[in-house]
Each structure stands twice: as C-alpha cells, then as structure tokens.
C-alpha cells in the first residue's frame, strides 16, 4: 500500500461500522495516525484495536454529533492525543430512521428533525470544531460523506435527500471561505454500498439488491472500500487541488 498519508493526523467521525470503519482501515494502511470517533464506542474501539494489532496507529473516542458539548469534548480529546489535526472525514449519519422516511406528506416530522439534526446540523458542529485545528496547521482537508440521493430526485426518503443536499452546500461554503487558507473541503457521494455489516446481517432484501444491481452500470455493487479509497485520495496530497466538489462513487448509478 502506498504511504500517501504518512504521519498525518486524521479523525474519522462515524467510524464504528460500514464506510467509516473501512476508511479508518484504509487511512491507517496508508500511514496515517487515526482517531476513530463514533457514538458506538465499542465498535470504534474494535476497529482501532484491529489496526493496532496489525501494527497501525489508531485509537477510539466517543462522540455524539447531535450534541454540541459531546462534539467539542471528543474533538479536543482527539486533537490532544494526535498533537494537532491534518484532516477529518465527517461520515456519520443516523440511518435507523431512513426506512420511516416515506414522503413529504406522510413522513413523521420527528424523522425529518432527527435526520437533519444528525446528518446536517451534526456535520456543521463537527466542521466548527475541526476547522480551527486545521487552520492552525496552515491547512488541511475535510471530506464529508453525502449521497447520490441528494441529486437523484427520488420519490422516497425526502428528509435524507434534504440533509445531504444541505451537506453539499455546507461543503461548498467551507471550500470557498477557507480555500485560500489551505483548506480543501469535498464530499464523497456513494451510490448504494453494501457494507460488511449489511451483508453479515442479511438486512437488505434480495429484491432490493437485484434492483440496485440492475440500476448500476457496473459488474458489481459498491463496497465500503470503494468509498474509503476516494476519501484517502481527497485527504492526501494527490487531492490537494480538488476543492468544493461532490465526487460521485457509485459505479455510474448517477452520472453528472
Ligand atoms: N451504505 C450506503 O449505501 C450509503 C450510500 C450513500 C451514502 N451513505 C452514507 O455513508 C455514511 C456511512 O454509512 P454506512 O452505510 O457506512 O452506515 P453505518 O450505519 O454502518 O455507519 C454510520 C456510522 O455513524 C455512526 N453514527 C450514527 N449516529 C451517530 C451520531 N449521532 N454521532 C456519531 N456517530 C454516529 C454509527 O454508529 C455508524 O458507525 C453515511 O453518511 C451514509 O448516509 C451510505
């Protein structure tokens, strides 16, 4: 594995499972020192322990991005242990409510509020907490995980799509406001990704997998590692001149 991130200090927020966990593994494999932050601390600890056992450098902290005090405490602890910050992958989303996110007439507003609280407001809180540390270093990179759902125009999950559209706007603001001070901000937009946990849990109906494959002009569905690879690029010097972009990683299920 190339060492594009040798000794870079990076936090991955929402890293206990799925795409975030795969990103922690990828960044550590490329030489980064990684803080795995998640509301599910045991899961983040397990990811960090697996990396440490393999000779990498990772540790875990607890964070609830719906709670400003938790965000500030967790990021301060991470930065203290890392001795500064070069990059952040802000990836967390509350996906427990996504199957109740029906349509604009039917959806329970509690589902809308929870989705925006975590997927959008939470990312704003994380941005406000990490940016001063990146600026202190003379620059750095923020990668957000959005979704192709922001641009797909779907008949379902309106709260989720609104939250991810807002996230794309936040990302462009950060790129525009702080680009001249050495900050890059970008979104990676996955198409449907079957994570290791989804596969193990068998939660996704076969009909849906067949539907996703039929609408993806690729030989296979997406994996967490596909998204982790884009995050690693955007956090590395190879991504230094990519700023303010939504990078679709979707096997071509969305083409723009
Ligand atoms: N899997 C897909 O098909 C897909 C497609 C497009 C976008 N995404 C996006 O990718 C990201 C990761 O999704 P995933 O599929 O790996 O799901 P996941 O549920 O495995 O990962 C989400 C992580 O965020 C954590 N989290 C949830 N609420 C949190 C909170 N309040 N504070 C801190 N951490 C919290 C969870 O514990 C979990 O570790 C999400 O932003 C999701 O919207 C996923």
Mean pLDDT for the stretch of residues 5-32: 98
Report residue 193's pLDDT band, with 50, 70 and 90 as the boundaries.
very high
The yes-or-no verdict on residue 150 having pLDDT over 90 is: yes
* Mean pLDDT along residues 160-172: 98
Among 59, 144, 160, 178, the active-site one is 160
Atom of ligand 1 nearest to the CA of 14: 24
The predicted pLDDT at position 204 comes to 86
What average pLDDT does the structure give for the chain?
97
On the question of pLDDT at 81 being above 90, the answer is yes
Task: Give the model's pLDDT for residue 31.
Answer: 98
DSSP 129-182: HHHHHHHHTT-EEEEEE--THHHH--SS-HHHHHHHHHHHHHHHHHHHHHGGGT
**Contacts with 150 (C-beta within 8 Å, 6 or more apart), sequence order:** 161, 164, 165, 167, 168, 189, 246
Q: Is the CB of 251 under 6 A from ligand 1?
A: no
Distance, CA of 199 to CA of 196 (rounded, Å) = 5
Q: Which helix (H) or strand (E) holds 112?
A: helix 109-116
6 versus 208: the higher-pLDDT residue is: 6
Across 244-253, average pLDDT = 98
pLDDT band at 60 (very low <50, low <70, confident <90, very high): very high
Q: What is the 154 CA–ligand 1 centroid distance (Å)? A: 20
211 a catalytic residue: no
Q: How far is CA 78 from CA 1, 37, 87, 121, 130, in A?
A: 25, 9, 12, 21, 10
Ligand 1 pocket check for 20: Cβ under 6 Å: yes
Band the pLDDT of 217: cuts 50, 70, 90.
very high
> What is the 180 CA–ligand 1 centroid distance (Å)?
31
The residue whose CB lies within 8 Å of the most ligand 1 atoms, and thus the one to mutate among 18, 72, 160, is 18
Question: How confident is the model over 98-126, as pLDDT tens digits?
Answer: 999 999 999 999 999 999 999 999 999 99
Q: Which atom of ligand 1 is nearest to the CA of 16?
A: 39
Q: What percent of the chain has pLDDT over 90?
A: 96
| Structure tokens that stand for 151 in this block | 């641009």
What's the CATH number for 9-248? 3.40.50.720
64 Cβ inside 6 Å of ligand 1: yes
Q: Where are the domains of the chain?
A: 9-248
Mutate-to-test residue for ligand 1 from 95, 193, 211, 218, highest number of ligand atoms within 8 A of CB: 95
Segment 133-144, tens digit of pLDDT:
999 999 999 999
């Amino acid at each position: 594995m190339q060492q594009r991130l040798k000794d870079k200090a990076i936090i991955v927020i929402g890293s206990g499972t799925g795409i975030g966990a795969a990103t922690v593994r990828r960044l550590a494999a490329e030489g980064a020192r990684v803080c795995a932050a998640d509301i599910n601390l045991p899961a983040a600890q397990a990811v960090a322990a697996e990396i440490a056992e393999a000779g990498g450098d990772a540790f875990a902290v607890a964070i609830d991005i719906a709670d400003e005090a938790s965000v500030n405490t967790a990021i301060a602890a991470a930065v203290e242990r890392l001795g500064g910050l070069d990059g952040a992958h802000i990836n967390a989303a509350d996906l427990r409510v996504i199957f109740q996110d029906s349509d604009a007439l039917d959806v329970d507003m509690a589902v809308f509020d929870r989705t925006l609280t975590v997927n959008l407001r939470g990312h704003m809180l994380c941005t406000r907490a990490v940016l001063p540390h990146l600026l202190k270093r003379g620059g750095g990179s923020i990668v957000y995980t959005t979704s192709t759902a922001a641009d797909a125009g779907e008949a379902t999950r309106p709260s989720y799509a609104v939250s991810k559209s807002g996230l794309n706007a936040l990302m462009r603001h950060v790129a525009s406001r702080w680009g001249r001070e050495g900050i890059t901000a970008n979104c990676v937009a996955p198409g449907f990704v079957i994570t290791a946990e989804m596969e193990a849990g068998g939660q996704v109906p076969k009909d849906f997998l067949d539907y996703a494959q039929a609408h993806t002009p690729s030989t296979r569905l997406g994996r967490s590692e596909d998204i982790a690879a884009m995050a690693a690029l955007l956090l590395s010097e190879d991504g230094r001149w990519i700023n303010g972009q939504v990078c679709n990683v979707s096997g071509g299920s969305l083409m723009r």
